[in-house]
Structure 1
């Protein structure tokens, strides 16, 4: 990501502006780390913070203001190098002449934000961490239902998009169809879609439809955590399907395990209803209520009770 691309995408969110005469907007941002010069300006730096965006706040500018022009320029040259992608001044402060001069000389873009240093750094770190976190693209449809993120997968023509449409009709929300981009969040996987097919759903026989236009903005989301995966497949007479629910399956993406549920598809089965039931049952499990295990426990207790009766008789 270049500084120009970063600016165009996040300028409004971070309240950024480019200072007059700034150069080097085509520089690449290579790492998610951010650095405040702090004591580095006083010459206490033990190692250079290459490739990091540098953030200058009130403390740094106040220190530079107390130095002579020559000393200020010397300090800046020791901190800002041509490996830094950008320098950003916070609190809407006016950059000193020496800072502007040095950034122009080495063609490092100088930007400014009205935000205070800590809120700005927090937002910037979240943006860069999200951009640089590991990603993986998978085939499927991502839906949010009952507050649960559900990735619906399966072979082509098995009915993933049709199932998603049925869920949307019932008030649930579409995140992405066909291609889902996974990234690792702090605790869970986060799924989103490419901008090209944003809010679009492909339905064979109908074509591509815009869900946001058909059902309103409430029917779509930009991203959602992936709490479970539902795999649809054509009913196979020779395959065993769990009828009790004791068997637990998982699938792993980016080192994170996600519960997996297998649903066989055949005429007469209400897949939308089955998916909703799976989601609600999953929520119950998360709350500590496992219907299959509770039934199994009662069954074992009943068998043990009958054995005792037989022995006594």
Structure 2
């Protein structure tokens, strides 16, 4: 999924109120694109120790930087700021309600870089900006399937068309679980550790059932039956029952699917008339949760089976002796 560029204007219109941001000057640089998700405080660079330029990052000036600059003579202040601020910086932000030095204003006007101000504390503002930019720049993949929350775990139901994904989701909703998205699921990589799934705004809370049509889950079952997003912790692959296919009957083999370089536990569930798919998905989720807690039913069974076989073999040798 292609990510829409984030402009300074977008940052202010979407998050300006939360961040307490307002524009000081100039207006013509508001269409500059933010191309990296990092925020940079000038720090030691203002002392003349400039080992590298932070060209594409938003520069954030806090009280410490501004107090240091005020102690410098005007000419020296201008030199130090010119060493730090470049035309490739998408914006300069002054935090804590501080008034920016006139030299900083002049440089921003000359380079057509938006100079923004905020009343927020410097570290608070930096943390909030980092979270917002991490969200915007995190990798996204769009997949076909139905995403539901079952016992607090995000389950992505996948499979061929008409295999019964939406019907399975409806059965789960009837049992008190929650729908996130049907048909199209956007997966976003968060903190390089996990996937968060959500749905398109257009089809949010809608479920398509063949023979019935499109139904609005929020209207039919209430707000308790839906949620906007969920952490995706397992994938359930539905497939038509095939008598010639071998299906794992013990559960010792663990499978994973790779999405955005993350390995998500995956389970295959063969479906045929008479099998209650919603109940089977619930059972798989509970069993998965037990595994996460350290108890593996199949491994426990296998250990007991091997112990029983070993006992019988020892008993057989004793009888022969």
Q: Which string of whole-angstrom CA distances, capped at 9 and with x for unpartnered residues, describes residues 103-127 of structure 1?
A: 2222211222222111221221122
Hey, what does 1:133 align to over in structure 2?
Answer: 138
Hey, what does 2:55 align to over in structure 1?
Answer: 50
Provide the rounded CA distance (Å) in 2 between the counterparts of 1:58 and 1:290. Answer: 55
1:305 aligns with 2:311: yes
Relative to structure 1, is the Cα distance of residues 152 and 296 closer, same or farther in structure 2, using a 3 angstrom cutoff? same
Structure 2 contact 25–108 (Cα < 8 Å) conserved: no
Shift of 1:32: 1.3
Relative to structure 1, is the Cα distance of residues 64 and 137 closer, same or farther in structure 2, using a 3 angstrom cutoff? same
Structure 1 contact 19–111 (Cα < 8 Å) conserved: yes
Provide the rounded CA distance (Å) in 2 between the counterparts of 1:82 and 1:15. Answer: 24
Residue 123 (structure 1) aligned to one of 115, 121, 128: 128
1:102 aligns with 2:102: no
1:89 aligns with 2:72: no
Hey, what does 2:3 align to over in structure 1?
Answer: none
Hey, what does 1:287 align to over in structure 2?
Answer: 293
Secondary structure of the 1:140 match is strand
| TM-score, with length taken from structure 1 | 0.92
Single out whichever of 275-284 and 85-94 deviates more from structure 2.
Answer: 85-94
**Structure 1 residue ranges (4+ consecutive) displaced by more than 6 angstroms after TM superposition:** none
Shift of 1:20: 5.6
Provide the rounded CA distance (Å) in 2 between the counterparts of 1:89 and 1:233. Answer: 57
Structure 2 contact 95–121 (Cα < 8 Å) conserved: yes
Secondary structure of the 2:157 match is strand
Q: Which string of whole-angstrom CA distances, capped at 9 and with x for unpartnered residues, describes residues 289-313 of structure 1?
A: 1111111222222222222333333
Q: Which string of whole-angstrom CA distances, capped at 9 and with x for unpartnered residues, describes residues 119-178 of structure 1?
A: 221221122223223322211122222121211111111111222222223222222222
Provide the rounded CA distance (Å) in 2 between the counterparts of 1:100 and 1:213. Answer: 53
| Paired residue total | 313
Hey, what does 1:144 align to over in structure 2?
Answer: 149
Secondary structure of the 2:156 match is strand
Hey, what does 1:159 align to over in structure 2?
Answer: 164
Relative to structure 1, is the Cα distance of residues 167 and 17 closer, same or farther in structure 2, using a 3 angstrom cutoff? farther
* Alignment gaps of 5+ in structure 2: 1-5
Single out whichever of 45-54 and 213-222 deviates more from structure 2.
Answer: 213-222
Hey, what does 1:249 align to over in structure 2?
Answer: 255
Hey, what does 2:244 align to over in structure 1?
Answer: 238
| TM-score, with length taken from structure 2 | 0.89
Structural RMSD (CA)? 2.0
Shift of 1:280: 0.4
Provide the rounded CA distance (Å) in 1 between the counterparts of 2:305 and 2:56. Answer: 63
1:212 aligns with 2:181: no
Shift of 1:229: 0.6
Shift of 1:10: 2.2
Residue 184 (structure 2) aligned to one of 179, 195, 210: 179
Residue 114 (structure 1) aligned to one of 119, 138, 141: 119
Single out whichever of 42-51 and 7-16 deviates more from structure 2.
Answer: 7-16
Structure 1 contact 22–104 (Cα < 8 Å) conserved: no
Provide the rounded CA distance (Å) in 2 between the counterparts of 1:212 and 1:21. Answer: 46
